[in-house]
């Protein structure tokens, strides 16, 4: 039995390693303790790798990953993974987003309570300095305080639930969720970021990207209440560290709880010099339970990816299949098939691909465009094109990808149209799926037709004069090509388009004979 090589680049829980060892289809290599330069040689024939923060998946790493299908980041953050670089090489990047959720939630609550009651400092006073001075450690209660949560995903929402249990007033801000996600939990929701800045305590739970870096800066801090408390157990750099330092120094920020820093380890950071900050060394995932979850979930994802079964939590797949209606998937497949035959019919350098949708499918034209692009480029790219790198390949070839959502069709419940423009001309095909799940072409370049999307297909465009069908039939019969279906469309320019499905392949000589018929305008051929 052929085995799939999976390399573990960093330390994960032993339970995850056991899963890899015990799967007969997996050739498991533990490489967490070897030099990172040596690691580059080890991964050259690997299909999947598991990494953590200690391994940078950068240009050098990717260039050595010659046989790589997928990379599993055992954790939430993918700051150390060049996702665009992986996408260009067709490597799927996955993470384990929920394994340490509870650990991060509980650490946030720990920091919040520590800031309000200054427990780390009172502990040090008694434990290390042996001073009993109760009057020095008057804190504040969580009850009745207003908590602002920036980012209301898996972690932020659970922080909200627990904070409600402390009888806090909770306000959530997240431009990417429905307000009902918060309000259904009895939590207020706002679309005005200034409402968050007016809270007594603010905690952040967003990914780190161009939109969220420095989301709290000196300007935002100036709008906050005097004596505000800030907590960050998410990613370093979401709060501007210089602005945070100034706010803590001035007293505008009464206390801060920080688990993450821009540069780690942060053993000499100036924030550590302050007496109104509680810090921890990036412990968001540091529970035995979360480490077990991370290790086993990462191993399971690596096994599934290596076998080609599934790619859960992928960052660079065109769609999340768990979030699309069942009716969409057949349209994605059909779009790829239409792109495939369109490219065959007009073999030339592609200039643009336009994908339009009518009906409910119009909401999914962006995902559809990826599948159409793969179908359109597979003839010229072969295995070099896939769902992950399709957009990158198109950009490299200066192919413009356009999408369009149109008004509902008066005839079809859902309709897609693919317009392929090449140096030779334009092919525009509309297709739909009927209730019996049959994929049908219903229009080609303005000729209304009804053709099954399968088999060997000849498109014969001609002037609309008598005798053409007979001539076409005779030509094919002389070449021993049997016709299985013959569909005809006409336009207002006295032109006709025949779509002829045949039982066998058609050679170039036969196509030239068809093209030589007096009434012929052009002939195309495709097979699927």
187 vs 143, 163, 399, CA distance in Å?
15, 10, 47
469: which residues sit within 8 A by CB, 6+ positions away? 486, 488, 498
Set 4, 73, 158, 235: catalytic member: 235
Is residue 241 annotated as part of the catalytic site, yes or no?
A: no
Largest CA-CA distance found in the chain, in angstroms, rounded = 109
Is residue 337 annotated as part of the catalytic site, yes or no?
A: no
Cβ–Cβ < 8 Å for 306, 6: yes
Supply the DSSP string of 366-377, one letter for each residue.
HHHHHHHHHHHH
Helix (H) or strand (E) holding 379: helix 365-381
Set 141, 211, 264, 396: catalytic member: 264
Q: Please state whether the peptide bond connecting residue 283 to the residue before it is cis, i.e. omega within 30 degrees of 0.
A: no
Set 254, 282, 358, 487: catalytic member: 282
- Nearest CA to 329 out of 443, 433, 436 is that of 433
Supply the DSSP string of 9-72, one letter for each residue.
-S---HHHHHHHHH-TTEEEEE-TTS-HHHHHHHGGG-SEEEE-TTS-B-HHHHHH-TT--EEE
Is residue 487 annotated as part of the catalytic site, yes or no?
A: no
Rounded to a whole number, what is the distance in angstroms from the first to the last CA of the chain? 32
Strand partners, 429: 418, 444
Q: Which two tokens stand for residue 19?
A: 């899963």
- Nearest CA to 343 out of 108, 528, 89 is that of 528
Tell me which DSSP letter residue 300 carries. Answer: H
State the catalytic residues.
235, 264, 282
């Amino acid at each position: 039995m052929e085995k799939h090589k999976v390399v573990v680049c960093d330390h994960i829980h032993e339970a995850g390693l056991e899963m890899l060892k015990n799967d007969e289809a997996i050739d498991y290599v533990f490489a967490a303790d070897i030099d990172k330069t040596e690691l580059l040689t080890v991964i050259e024939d690997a299909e999947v790798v598991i990494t953590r923060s200690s391994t940078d998946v950068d240009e050098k790493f990717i260039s050595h990953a010659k046989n790589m299908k997928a990379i599993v980041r055992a954790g939430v953050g993918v700051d150390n993974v060049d996702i665009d670089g992986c996408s260009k090489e067709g490597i799927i990047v996955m993470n384990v987003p929920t394994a340490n959720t509870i650990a991060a939630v509980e650490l946030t609550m720990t920091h919040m309570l520590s800031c309000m009651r200054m427990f780390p400092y009172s502990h040090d006073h008694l434990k290390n300095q042996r001073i009993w001075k109760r009057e020095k450690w008057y804190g504040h209660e969580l009850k009745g305080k207003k908590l602002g949560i920036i980012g209301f995903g898996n972690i932020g929402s659970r922080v909200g639930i627990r904070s409600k249990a402390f009888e806090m007033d909770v306000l959530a801000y997240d431009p990417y969720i429905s307000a009902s996600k918060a309000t259904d939990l009895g939590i207020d929701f706002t679309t005005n970021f200034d409402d968050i800045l007016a809270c007594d305590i603010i905690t952040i739970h967003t990914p780190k990207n161009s939109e969220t870096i420095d989301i709290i800066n000196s300007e935002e801090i100036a709008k906050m209440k005097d004596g505000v408390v800030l907590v960050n157990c998410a990613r370093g750099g979401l709060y501007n560290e210089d602005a945070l330092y100034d706010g803590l120094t001035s007293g505008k920020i009464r206390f801060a709880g920080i688990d993450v820093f821009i540069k780690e380890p942060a053993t000499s950071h100036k924030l550590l010099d302050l007496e109104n900050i509680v810090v921890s060394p990036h412990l968001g995932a540091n529970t035995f339970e979360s480490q077990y979850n991370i290790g086993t979930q990462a191993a399971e994802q690596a096994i599934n990816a290596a076998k080609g079964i599934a790619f859960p939590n992928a960052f660079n797949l065109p769609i999340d299949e768990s979030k699309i209606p069942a009716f969409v998937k057949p349209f994605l497949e059909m779009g790829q098939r239409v792109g495939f035959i369109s490219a065959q019919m007009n073999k030339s350098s592609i200039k643009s691909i336009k994908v339009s949708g009518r009906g409910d499918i119009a909401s999914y034209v962006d995902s559809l465009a990826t599948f159409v692009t793969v179908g359109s480029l597979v003839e010229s790219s072969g295995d070099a094109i896939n769902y992950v790198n399709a957009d990158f390949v198109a950009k490299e070839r200066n192919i413009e990808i356009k999408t369009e959502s149109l008004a509902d069709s008066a005839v079809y419940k859902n309709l897609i149209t693919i317009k392929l423009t090449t140096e030779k001309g334009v092919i525009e095909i509309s297709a739909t799926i009927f209730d019996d799940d049959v994929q049908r072409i219903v229009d080609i370049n303005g000729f209304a037709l009804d053709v099954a999307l399968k088999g060997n297909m000849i498109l014969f465009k001609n002037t609309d004069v008598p005798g053409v069908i007979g001539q076409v039939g005779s030509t094919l019969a002389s070449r021993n090509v049997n016709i299985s279906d013959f569909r005809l469309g006409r336009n207002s320019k006295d032109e006709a388009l025949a779509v002829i499905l045949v039982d066998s392949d058609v050679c170039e000589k036969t196509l030239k004979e068809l093209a030589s018929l007096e009434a012929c305008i052009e002939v195309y051929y495709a097979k699927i």
